Amino acid sequence: EADIYQTPRYLVIGTGKKITLECSQTMGHDKMYWYQQDPGMELHLIHYSYGVNSTEKGDLSSESTVSRIRTEHFPLTLESARPSHTSQYLCASSESRQGGYQPQHFGDGTRLSIL
Amino acid sequence: QKEVEQNSGPLSVPEGAIASLNCTYSDRVSQSFFWYRQYSGKSPELIMSIYSNGDKEDGRFTAQLNKASQYVSLLIRDSQPSDSATYLCAVNHDSGGSNYKLTFGKGTLLTVNP
Region for residue B64 given its phi and psi (left: phi exceeds 0; alpha: psi -120 to 50; beta: otherwise): beta
Question: What per-residue confidence (pLDDT) applies to B28?
Answer: 82
**Banded model confidence at residue B5, pLDDT cuts 50, 70, 90:** very high
- Torsions phi, psi of A16, nearest 5? 90, -10
Identify whether the C-beta of residue B108 lies closer than 8 Å to the C-beta of residue B50. no
> Residue B3 CB: number of other CB atoms within 10 A?
11
Across A10-34, b (16+ Cβ under 10 Å) vs e yields ebeeeeeeebebebbbeeebbbbbb
Predicted confidence (pLDDT) at residue A98 exceeds the cutoff of 80: no
B7 in contact with A, Cβ within 8 Å:
no
Question: What per-residue confidence (pLDDT) applies to B7?
Answer: 86
Identify whether the C-beta of residue A112 lies closer than 8 Å to the C-beta of residue A88. yes
**Banded model confidence at residue B96, pLDDT cuts 50, 70, 90:** low
Identify whether the C-beta of residue A66 lies closer than 8 Å to the C-beta of residue A54. no
Chain A partners of B94 at a C-beta cutoff of 8 Å?
101
Residue in chain B nearest A9 by alpha carbon: B42
Predicted confidence (pLDDT) at residue B107 exceeds the cutoff of 80: yes
Q: How many CA atoms lie within 13 A of A84 on its CB side?
A: 5
**Banded model confidence at residue B72, pLDDT cuts 50, 70, 90:** very high
Size of interface A-B (CB pairs under 8 A): 49
Question: What per-residue confidence (pLDDT) applies to A25?
Answer: 96
pLDDT tens digits, one per residue of A14-24: 999 999 999 99
Q: Please provide the size of chain B in residues.
A: 114
Chain A partners of B43 at a C-beta cutoff of 8 Å?
90, 106-109
pLDDT tens digits, one per residue of A44-65: 999 999 999 999 999 888 899 9
**Banded model confidence at residue B95, pLDDT cuts 50, 70, 90:** low
Rounded Cα–Cα distance for residues A16 and A3 (Å): 32
Give the helix, strand, coil percentages of chain A, each rounded to 5: 5, 50, 50
Q: Quick one: what percent of chain A has pLDDT higher than 70?
A: 96
> Average pLDDT for residues A98-103, to the nearest whole number?
74
> Residue A105 CB: number of other CB atoms within 10 A?
22
Question: What per-residue confidence (pLDDT) applies to B78?
Answer: 98
Chain B partners of A25 at a C-beta cutoff of 8 Å?
none
Identify whether the C-beta of residue A50 lies closer than 8 Å to the C-beta of residue A30. yes
- Torsions phi, psi of B12, nearest 5? -115, 125
> Average pLDDT for residues B44-56, to the nearest whole number?
95
